[in-house]
């Protein structure tokens, strides 16, 4: 198989949570450009409809299905509707996440902990479990969990968010271990600082931005599009021997 065939996703179905903007939207577009039928999902139907329409206008196959990943019924609806429309799921990108409170760990309440873990970890497990039968039936599947460098190296004030991303990394490795024999791979992508709405509180503060940049050999933050290549590798046959991996895309932040 040529290298371009290895990256070809024609006939593949990809579900991307949190795909109305930022990293999720960039990855969804990349997968669609490589030939996948993409299901663009986030909490708001108008937002996902708009992105899906934008992709279709550019000649790609895309559908918008709203889903708050913290709601189990909506997760089930997302997989049911995807299966109805496209027959199953080959690639799952668990990308939606929340970080409602910046602050030290002693200020975190049980309520905040539950909210963060529900969206950032529990939802990723439940959604993958819902996709697993379809992937196992097809004999292949790729789960990509968008974790963070925070899951390996905590920053001040990111407390529970960092805890959730560490848990997501271990979820990834457990999935890889348990589902390898079904032909299902699971990998984590750990971005560094990416310029999106989610991270605005960091990069809009000059002092915090300077701190991150000074700790990053690349000397800058990144754009969401810089996460796409890794997702294409992991989602396609090009990454057929990669499973249980934790892949950084962080400008060198982890080794600095």
Ligand X SMILES: NC(=O)c1ccc[n+]([C@@H]2O[C@H](COP(=O)([O-])OP(=O)(O)OC[C@H]3O[C@@H](n4cnc5c(N)ncnc54)[C@H](OP(=O)(O)O)[C@@H]3O)[C@@H](O)[C@H]2O)c1
Catalytic residues: 161
- Give the N- to C-terminal CA distance of the chain in Å, as an integer: 38
Query: In the complex, what is the shortest distance from the CB of residue 114 to ligand X, in angstroms, rounded to a whole number?
Result: 13
155 binds ligand X (CB under 6 A): no
Q: Do residues 102 and 160 lie in contact, with contact meaning Cβ atoms separated by under 8 Å?
A: no
Shorter beta-carbon distance to ligand X: residue 42 or 159: 42
141 binds ligand X (CB under 6 A): no
Shorter beta-carbon distance to ligand X: residue 9 or 26: 26
Q: How many residues does the chain have?
A: 256
Query: In the complex, what is the shortest distance from the CB of residue 207 to ligand X, in angstroms, rounded to a whole number?
Result: 17
Element (H, E) at 248: strand 246-249
Q: For residues 86 and 14, give the distance between their C-alpha atoms in angstroms, rounded to a whole number.
A: 10
Query: In the complex, what is the shortest distance from the CB of residue 73 to ligand X, in angstroms, rounded to a whole number?
Result: 13
**Closest alpha carbon to 14 in 76, 85, 69:** 85
Q: Do residues 157 and 114 lie in contact, with contact meaning Cβ atoms separated by under 8 Å?
A: no
57 binds ligand X (CB under 6 A): no
Site for ligand X (CB under 6 A): which residue of 44, 85, 137, 177? 44
Region of 80-88, 124-132, 133-141, 195-203 interacting with ligand X (CB under 6 A): 195-203
Interactions with ligand X, residue window 80-99 (CB under 6 A): 95-98
Element (H, E) at 92: strand 91-94
Instruction: From residue 201, give the alpha-carbon distance in Å to each of 76, 189, 193, 227.
Output: 33, 22, 11, 20
Site for ligand X (CB under 6 A): which residue of 30, 64, 141, 191? 191
Interface residue list for ligand X (CB under 6 A): 17-24, 42-44, 47, 67-70, 95-98, 119, 146, 148, 191, 193-194, 196-199, 224
């Amino acid at each position: 198989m040529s290298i371009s065939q290895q990256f070809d996703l024609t006939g593949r179905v990809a579900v991307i949570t949190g795909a109305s903007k930022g990293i999720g939207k960039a990855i969804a577009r990349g997968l669609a450009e490589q030939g996948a039928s993409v299901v663009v999902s986030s909490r708001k139907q108008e937002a996902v409809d708009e992105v899906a329409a934008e992709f279709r206008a550019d000649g790609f196959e895309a559908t918008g299905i709203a889903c708050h990943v913290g709601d189990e019924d909506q997760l089930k609806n997302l997989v049911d509707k995807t299966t109805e429309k496209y027959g199953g799921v080959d690639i799952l990108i668990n990308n939606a996440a929340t970080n409602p409170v910046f602050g030290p760990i002693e200020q975190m309440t049980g309520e905040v902990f539950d909210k963060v873990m529900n969206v950032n970890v529990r939802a990723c497990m439940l959604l993958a479990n819902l996709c697993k039968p379809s992937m196992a039936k097809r004999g292949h599947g790729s789960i990509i969990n968008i974790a963070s460098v925070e899951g390996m190296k905590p920053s001040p004030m990111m407390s529970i968010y960092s805890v959730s991303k560490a848990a997501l990394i271990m979820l990834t490795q457990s999935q890889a271990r348990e589902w390898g024999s079904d032909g299902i791979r699971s990998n984590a992508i750990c971005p560094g600082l990416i310029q999106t709405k989610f991270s605005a509180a960091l990069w809009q503060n000059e002092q915090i931005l300077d701190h991150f940049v000074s700790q990053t050999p690349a000397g800058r933050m990144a754009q969401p599009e810089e996460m796409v290549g890794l997702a294409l590798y992991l989602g396609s046959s090009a990454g057929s021997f990669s499973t249980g991996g934790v892949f950084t895309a962080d400008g060198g932040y982890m080794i600095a």
